[in-house]
Amino acid sequence: KQEVTQIPAALSVPEGENLVLNCSFTDSAIYNLQWFRQDPGKGLTSLLLIQSSQREQTSGRLNASLDKSSGRSTLYIAASQPGDSATYLCAVKGKSTFGDGTTLTVKP
Amino acid sequence: NAGVTQTPKFQVLKTGQSMTLQCAQDMNHNSMYWYRQDPGMGLRLIYYSASEGTTDKGEVPNGYNVSRLNKREFSLRLESAAPSQTSVYFCASSEAHWGYEQYFGPGTRLTVT
């Protein structure tokens, strides 16, 4: 059974800092991996989708990497802003398994 | 485009009552999904419909039924609600099954007393 772990569960950083969020999965037989953000009381917003054949994807200040052999993905956020404060979730597609998320707080 | 819409936004039920959660998407997607989100347990897949006319069980299907009414609409029914079904329910859609980006609705917050 696929298990997805996100560490740390919570992270607080000052504005302007670059940061990395981690996502680990146990079964490397995946179709793709998707990163989402979720604001309190809201639905999930898609950030990046990495296909299993890809190593990374970039969108603006966000860069996501995928290493299937080690069962890891990272989400890099450059020059963080208070508006980036949210919970970030990764989802591994084979059977659509989600991690519990990392709650990010960016302090002005 | 509205994307994925869900109704209602909030609902309170008594144990044993039934209700249907509605979901619609306007992106011409083939695949649709129902998830529930609970504190400490993340999002879990209840049912999905890979294409119009098909439905399959996910990780936690017990106590639920689904109907893919047409390509746009996918409903989730609770026949006899239980307190354990108190949760936030999300509908999602994608262009095709699994290999494509998923788009989520705003959620339905359900409380069963």
Residue B100, pLDDT score: 86
Q: Is A32–B99 a contact, with Cβ atoms under 8 angstroms apart?
A: yes
The CB density around residue A21, as the number of other CB atoms within 10 Å, is 22
Residue A1, pLDDT score: 86
pLDDT tens figures, A31-51: 899 999 999 989 999 999 999
Q: Is A44–B33 a contact, with Cβ atoms under 8 angstroms apart?
A: no
Give the pair of three-digit tokens for residue B21: 């959660």
Give the list of residues 6+ apart from residue A89 with CB closer than 8 angstroms, or none.
A6, A35, A36, A37, A38, A44, A98, A99, A100, A101, B42, B43
Residue A18, pLDDT score: 97
Q: Is B103–A99 a contact, with Cβ atoms under 8 angstroms apart?
A: no
Residue A98, pLDDT score: 94
Query: What does the DSSP 8-state code read for residue A6?
Result: E
Q: Is A98–B90 a contact, with Cβ atoms under 8 angstroms apart?
A: no
Question: With contacts defined as CB-CB under 8 Å, which chain B residues touch A53?
Answer: none
Residue in B with minimal Cα distance to A1? B59
Chain A closest CA to B14's CA: distance in Å? 23
Asked if pLDDT for residue A54 goes beyond 80, the answer is yes
Confidence category of residue A12, pLDDT binned at 50, 70, 90: very high
Query: Which helix or strand (DSSP H or E) is residue B61 part of?
Result: none
Chosen from A25, A88, A95, A96 to mutate, greatest number of chain B CBs within 10 A: A96
Question: With contacts defined as CB-CB under 8 Å, which chain B residues touch A94?
Answer: 98
Distance between CA atoms of residues B9 and B89, nearest Å: 10
Q: Is A95–B45 a contact, with Cβ atoms under 8 angstroms apart?
A: yes
Confidence category of residue A23, pLDDT binned at 50, 70, 90: very high
Distance between CA atoms of residues A84 and B22, nearest Å: 31
pLDDT < 50 stretches in chain B: none
What average pLDDT does the structure give for chain A? Answer: 95
Residue B8, pLDDT score: 97
Residue A69, pLDDT score: 92
pLDDT tens figures, A86-102: 999 999 987 789 999 99
Confidence category of residue A4, pLDDT binned at 50, 70, 90: very high
Please give the single-letter amino acid code of residue A85. S
Residue B16, pLDDT score: 97
Q: Is A43–B104 a contact, with Cβ atoms under 8 angstroms apart?
A: yes
B 67-106 residues inside an 8 A Cβ radius of A: 90, 92, 98-106
CA geometry: angle at B49 spanning B46 and B52, to 5°?
A: 155
Q: Is B43–A91 a contact, with Cβ atoms under 8 angstroms apart?
A: yes
Residue of B58, B100, B106 lying closest to A42 (CB–CB): B106
Peptide bond into A14 cis (omega under 30): no
What average pLDDT does the structure give for chain B? Answer: 95
